[in-house]
Structures are given as structure tokens and as C-alpha cells.
Structure 1
Amino acid sequence: MKITDVKTYIAGNNWKNWVFTQVETDEGITGLGEATLNGFAKTTEAAVHELKRLVIGKDPFDVEQHSLRLFRDYYSDGGQIHGAALSGIEYGCWDIMGKALGVPVYKLLGGKVQPKLRAYANGWYRSARTPENFYNNAKKVIEKGYTALKFDPFGSAWRTVSRPDFNEAIEIIAAVREAVGEDVDILIEGHNRFSVHTALQFADAMQPFQPTWFEAPVPPQKISSMVEVAKRSPVPIACGEDYYCREQFSELLAHHAVHIIQLEPQYLGITAAKQIAAMTHASNGVIAPHSAQGPLCSVVCAHLNTATPNFYLHEIFDDFNVDWTQQLLTNPINVENGYISVSDQPGWGVALNHQIVEQHPYHPNHFLPLFSDGWEKRQSVEMN
């Protein structure tokens, strides 16, 4: 079997254009992939078509070799764009392997370690940023059966915040804790917003509400800053979604400060993601992969998590996207009483609905402007 082409498709979800790939072979088996990256849909699509020359004519089963060459052989470091394009191609190869062998991808990754996956809700707070709205929306999440939920209470904050904004963020955290009770995990999203000092001030102030983690409190580029916060924070720190190569995780783990690793398979490919999960396991850590790109990303993470002994929590946006997105994939992720069970169908177990893609085309304003007021509503936004 040989790869003959890699095609791309973009679906215009209003808060993020989703980039899908289709790896084709000379035996008629095709593999579905995803190359979504916030704000860079057309760029990653172009990168897929530049990279595909390295796999056309090759055996899709040689996925370890493809993962190496797609990253190494271009020599230049293309960062997250490079990683997203690589993943779009590599995911398709894993899907082809599963279909050709008649097994789900998780079987190729080591088999079922986790019989089901505990999920946490994200994207559920699409309303004005007030404690009352967060309280009411959190109640609805718990009524759906979730036992964990994540949210960013910080508005458009960057590095520092005013005292009123600081207090409002803490009031929102308090409101969510009151809404969900003591037995539900609340996860606080930082979105790389703060300086070290501001992050630590927030960590101290939120600690009485017992967050399970404080995620990405400082920008990821200086690992020393993340480590400093992790060592001084009374709340566990989680991070990793911004990194796109093994070496970054190796450096982070070497400090023995962050033990909740949120690797993003969308920037790594499954080959590297599995290796990073093992590195984390060897460091006595757990993984909670970032799964906030598109619906196939969620499926991919589910297969990875199912085959990973040190899996912790699975991120879910799918339940909180607009209705038409539920028709984009056949057999999409389904959450029952806060848990996911992965399909045993071959490959990823899903197919792309091209008719739905055509009905929702790319739009340049479909992205998440995290440092603009009102970003929480996840609406298409005109930027000045």
C-alpha cells in the first residue's frame, strides 16, 4: 500500500476554523486527519500541502519514519504550524492502519488500559462574564452528569490586573464552587495570561476553593517561569498544550515541578504524543491532553487516553458546540454521565460529512481572540 495524495478541507465553526485532512492510498483506503490551529487555518492547510511530498509514494504503516521525517527533514522549526500540519498527515496514517487491520487505533497504541475515560466540560460558559452567569451555567453542566469542569474567569487580562478585576475573577471561582458543590473538580484556565507574581497572587487567592489545577498561568516560552510558579503555588499547576516537540517536555519534566502534563497531540502527532505520555509516566506524572481543536482531535485524544496507563482527565468541547457540529463526524464522541467509551470500529471509527463541511465554509474571523473582551461567548469577531 502506498500513499497517493493528501487532501484538505476546512469547516468554518464560528470560533475556530477546523482543518481536516484525507490521506489517500492506491488501495482505496483513506485516512482522516486534523490540522486545526487557532487563527492559522489557511496557513496550516498550505503547510500540509508542502509537507505531503515527503509521504507520497510511501507506506502509511511506516508512521514512525513519517513522523521523524516530517519534522526533521524540513530542518527549519515551523513550531505549532509545522506540528499541526504533521499531525494532519500522521493522523491519517493511523486511521489507514486501523482500517486495513480491522482494529481501532487504540489497539495499535497498546490496547485498552482505560475501560472508560472521565471527561471534564469546557466551552460551557458562553455568556456575559458575571458570577451569576457562571453559577447558572455550571449548574447546567453538573445536571448533564459531569464531575469536572474547566473555565477561564479572567476576562481579557494580560500580565497584571486591576484590583476590581482581580476580585471579580475570584468571585467567579467562588460562584462555580458554590454551584457544583465540594465533590466536583473545578479546573482554572489561565491561558498563558500572567506574570509570575500575578499568577502566584491568583493561586493564593483561589486556593480556598480547592481547584484541581491552575492551567497555563504564565506564558510557555520560559519554562523557568512555569517551574517557579509550580514550585510556589498552593494549587497544582497543569501545562503543556503549547509545546510541539519532545525536547520541550523533557526540559519541563526535568524540574519535577509540573506533574499534570497537557500535551497537545494536534501539535505533536500520535507517535510523539505516546512517547511523551511515557516520559511523563516515568516522571510519576499524569496526562490530561489538550483537546480543544476540532471534533476529530477529541476522538484522537480518546484513543490515546484509552491506551495510556497514566491518563487523568479528558477535555470535552463537543457537548457545548453549536448543533450542526454534531453532524460533522459520523459516530462523534458521546459523553454519558461524565464518561466516554471509545468506539471499537476500525481506525478512528469516524468519517467526515463533506456536505456539512460545504455548508459551513472558512471565514477569516472564525478564531478565538483570548485577549479581547467578550471572547468567552465564542462568536465570530471582527478585529480592528
Structure 2
Amino acid sequence: MKITSVETFLVPPRWLFCRVATDEGIVGWGEPVVEGRAETVRAAVDELSDLLLGCDPSRIEDLWQLMTKAAFYRGGPVLSSAVAGLDQALWDILGKSLGVPVHQLLGGAVRDEVRIYGWIGGDEPDQVADAAAAQVEAGLTAVKMNASGRASRMPTRAETDEVVSRVAAVREVLGDSRDVAVDFHGRFGAAAARRVLPELAPLHPLFAEEPVLPDYPHALRDVVTASPVPIASGERLYSRTEFLAPLQAGIAVAQPDLSHAGGISEVRRIASLAETFDALLAPHCPLGPLALAASLQVAFATPNFLIQEQSIGIHYNRDAELLDYVLDRAPFAFHDGAIRRWEAPGLGVQIDEDAVRRADTQGHRWRPPTWRHTDGSFAEW
């Protein structure tokens, strides 16, 4: 079997899909994208396709090595995201050619279902309690919320109190048997995080995500030491080498993204690395159906897995929804806060190719918001 073509599709609301075809008629799909840089990743996929055309798609590790190392300049989010989507597609092809799901190729399932969570509110939500109640009504047992909207470089007492009161409102809705995770999005910084995290502890967050920007891994240890709340990080880390310092600093939860961190191949290795530090895996995934399917395949086969993010109904999905591009929605159904393991071959997703090709004619130009402080200077989004 040989790879005969690699195509990409820019699909709303903000995603990029890739389609890898073979001379035996087996097609694999993947989701290579950096949110806000989809066109750039598309160009990178096109460049990498030169290494794939004519090759045996079952040699996944060899092709992964070529895509990541067959150039003098390596790494970074654009390249690793391009590799990630192509890697997903190669695993999809291999599973389909053998008639087995990817999780079986990863050593077999270790669980029957994957617990999931949904994201609530916008960047400055004013009705988080109602949003949490809606997710509970939808069948979820866990939610994640932003700790704050735009935050001062050193938050005031009022801003700190607002973080605590908003999480408290969600906790009241969820009760003690459900979970809330809190995402700082790198907005607070180490000093402010050390101040607010102990105040959040009585509300028992599942974890506090990205209290420190990934630019400052050396500051993580102090935050971890000061925090009674488990610390999570990793959505903006792209390889196992980048995860080493945060794991050594003591993060409790590693959050690689299957569409950013080198795909199934590398995230599986990141999970194993995390296990040696007694850390859990909770893949980042505010993306489309292929990224979610790839994440679930890893989750089905990973012992130190905690919980899976998913974007069904997320506020970013204004022009299209995750389920708009799949022919069979049943595998993504929620059952008591979880998605049950499926046995369909490959990634197990039936892509509606006609819908994808129509969407590509429209495309998108999604960009993240640009925030500024009250003095006019740049603010973290």
C-alpha cells in the first residue's frame, strides 16, 4: 500500500482537516490545526506531503521521524500540529487496513468509557451558574471554566474575590459529586496564582489549568508547592521534551493536544513520561471530531488517563458544530458524563466528505481576540 495524495480542508468554525489517500482505496483523516493559524498549518502539511507521497502508510513511526526531523529547523506549534494531523490520518489508515480500532493497536483498551467535561461561559461569563446547570442537564458530570476574563498584571482584591465567588457559584450548582476545573489561561502569573489558589482550595477544583504561561516553566515549581489545588498544564507544549520541566516541577495533570503535540504517536509517549512522575493525562481538545476521536483512542488505551475535554456546543462553534461533519453521531453520545468505547476500525469516525468539501469552499479566517489593559498595553487572552 502506498500514499497517493494528501489534501487539506479549511472548515468552519476554525478547523483544518486532512485526507490521506492510498492506492488500495483506504483513506485516513486527521485534524492538523493551530487555532488562528490554520492557513499556515495548511502550508506546512503541503510541504510535509512531499515526504509521504509514495510511502507505505503503515510505517507510522518511520514517517513520524521523517516529518519531525528531516529538516535542519525543527519543532514549534505549526510544524508539530501539521505532523499531528498527518499522524492521526496514518493511524486511521492502519486501523482500517487491519479492521481494528486504533486503541487496539496501542496495546488494547484499559477502560470501557472515557469521562468528559464541557466548557462553560465566555472569557468574561456573567451567568456561569446557569451555564453549569445546562451542562449538567446535558448529562455531564464535570465542567471547566475560566478563572477570570481580562486580568490585571497583579490582580486587585476585588478581582481575586470575583474568581472565588464565580467558582463558588458553579460549585453550588454541581454539588459535591461533580467536578469543576478552573482555567487561568496564563492570565494571572506566578505571584497572583500563589495568592488565589489557596482561596480556591475549599471549593475543591478538579485542577487549576495554566496558572503560569508556558514561557516560564521555571516558575511552576513555586506555584505547585504553594497550591493545595492540583496544577495542570500542557496545551501549549508540543513534545515530550517540553513536558519534562513541568513534570519535574510537579504538575499533577498533563494536557497535550492531539492536534498540536505530534499526534497519537507523541501524545502516547507524553502519557508514558507523565506516568513516571505520577501525573495524569487530560488531553486538551476544544476542536473538531477528528481531534476528539484521536484523543479518545489514546484515552481508551492509557492507564494514567483522567478526563477528556470536548467541544460539542462550545461558544467557538458559531458557524458549524463538531457533529456537522460526521455521518454517524452515535459514537459521540454522552452516557452519564462519559463517551463509551467503540470498536469501529481506525479512528472510528465516519467523515461526511461531501460536507467537508462544501465547507472548504467557504473556509474561514478565525482569529483569537486581541485584549488590552486599561492603560492600552497588551493583555493575555
Query: Normalised by the size of structure 2, how large is the TM-score?
Result: 0.91
Q: Which residue number in structure 2 is paired with residue 362 of structure 1?
A: 363
| Cα distance in structure 2, aligned partners of 1:30 and 1:193 | 41
Q: Which residue number in structure 1 is paired with residue 180 of structure 2?
A: 186
For residues 91-134 of structure 1, the C-alpha deviation after alignment (integer angstroms, 9 at most, x for no partner) is 11101001100111111111110111111112x3259622xx11
Which residue among 145, 163, 180 is the counterpart of 1:169? 163
Which residue among 212, 216, 239 is the counterpart of 2:210? 216
Aligned-residue offset at 1:232:
1.4
| Cα distance in structure 1, aligned partners of 2:143 and 2:370 | 19
| Cα distance in structure 2, aligned partners of 1:115 and 1:71 | 33
What secondary structure sits across from 1:154 in the alignment?
coil
What secondary structure sits across from 2:259 in the alignment?
helix
- The unaligned stretches of length 5 or more in structure 1 are 374-384
Change (3 A) 1:351 1:159: farther
Does the 8 Å CA contact 1:36/1:294 hold for their aligned counterparts? no
1:247 matched to 2:241: yes
For residues 48-100 of structure 1, the C-alpha deviation after alignment (integer angstroms, 9 at most, x for no partner) is 00111111111111101111111111221340111110012111110100110
Q: Which residue number in structure 2 is paired with residue 47 of structure 1?
A: 44
Q: Which residue number in structure 1 is paired with residue 113 of structure 2?
A: 116
Paired residues for 1:1-384 under 5 Å: 1-13=1-13, 17-122=14-119, 124-126=120-122, 129-130=125-126, 133-157=127-151, 159-255=153-249, 257-267=250-260, 268-320=262-314, 321=317, 324-332=321-329, 333-357=332-356, 358-359=358-359, 361-364=362-365, 366-369=366-369, 371=371
What secondary structure sits across from 2:9 in the alignment?
strand
| Cα distance in structure 2, aligned partners of 1:163 and 1:91 | 46
Aligned-residue RMSD, C-alpha: 1.9
Q: Which residue number in structure 2 is paired with residue 380 of structure 1?
A: none
| Cα distance in structure 1, aligned partners of 2:339 and 2:371 | 32
Amino acid at match of 1:217: P
For residues 211-251 of structure 1, the C-alpha deviation after alignment (integer angstroms, 9 at most, x for no partner) is 11100011012211122211211211011111111111223
Change (3 A) 1:309 1:71: same
Does the 8 Å CA contact 1:120/1:147 hold for their aligned counterparts? yes
Does the 8 Å CA contact 2:124/2:149 hold for their aligned counterparts? no
Change (3 A) 1:275 1:325: closer
Aligned-residue offset at 1:47:
0.5
| Cα distance in structure 1, aligned partners of 2:17 and 2:237 | 21
Amino acid at match of 2:326: L
- The unaligned stretches of length 5 or more in structure 2 are 374-381
Change (3 A) 1:341 1:64: same
Q: Which residue number in structure 1 is paired with residue 376 of structure 2?
A: none
What secondary structure sits across from 2:12 in the alignment?
strand
Amino acid at match of 1:125: G
What secondary structure sits across from 2:182 in the alignment?
strand
What secondary structure sits across from 1:6 in the alignment?
strand
Query: Normalised by the size of structure 1, how large is the TM-score?
Result: 0.90
For residues 158-187 of structure 1, the C-alpha deviation after alignment (integer angstroms, 9 at most, x for no partner) is 633333333222221111111111221110
Change (3 A) 1:158 1:34: farther
What secondary structure sits across from 1:335 in the alignment?
coil
Amino acid at match of 2:125: R
Does the 8 Å CA contact 1:286/1:310 hold for their aligned counterparts? yes
Does the 8 Å CA contact 1:5/1:25 hold for their aligned counterparts? yes
| Cα distance in structure 1, aligned partners of 2:135 and 2:270 | 31
For residues 348-384 of structure 1, the C-alpha deviation after alignment (integer angstroms, 9 at most, x for no partner) is 11132234332473232x23327479xxxxxxxxxxx
Amino acid at match of 1:101: L
Q: How many residues align?
A: 365
Amino acid at match of 2:11: A
Change (3 A) 1:298 1:370: farther
Amino acid at match of 2:69: R
Aligned-residue offset at 1:343:
2.2
| Cα distance in structure 2, aligned partners of 1:205 and 1:372 | 27
Aligned-residue offset at 1:336:
1.6
Moved more, 303-312 or 191-200: 191-200
What percentage of aligned pairs have identical amino acids? 33
Amino acid at match of 1:247: T
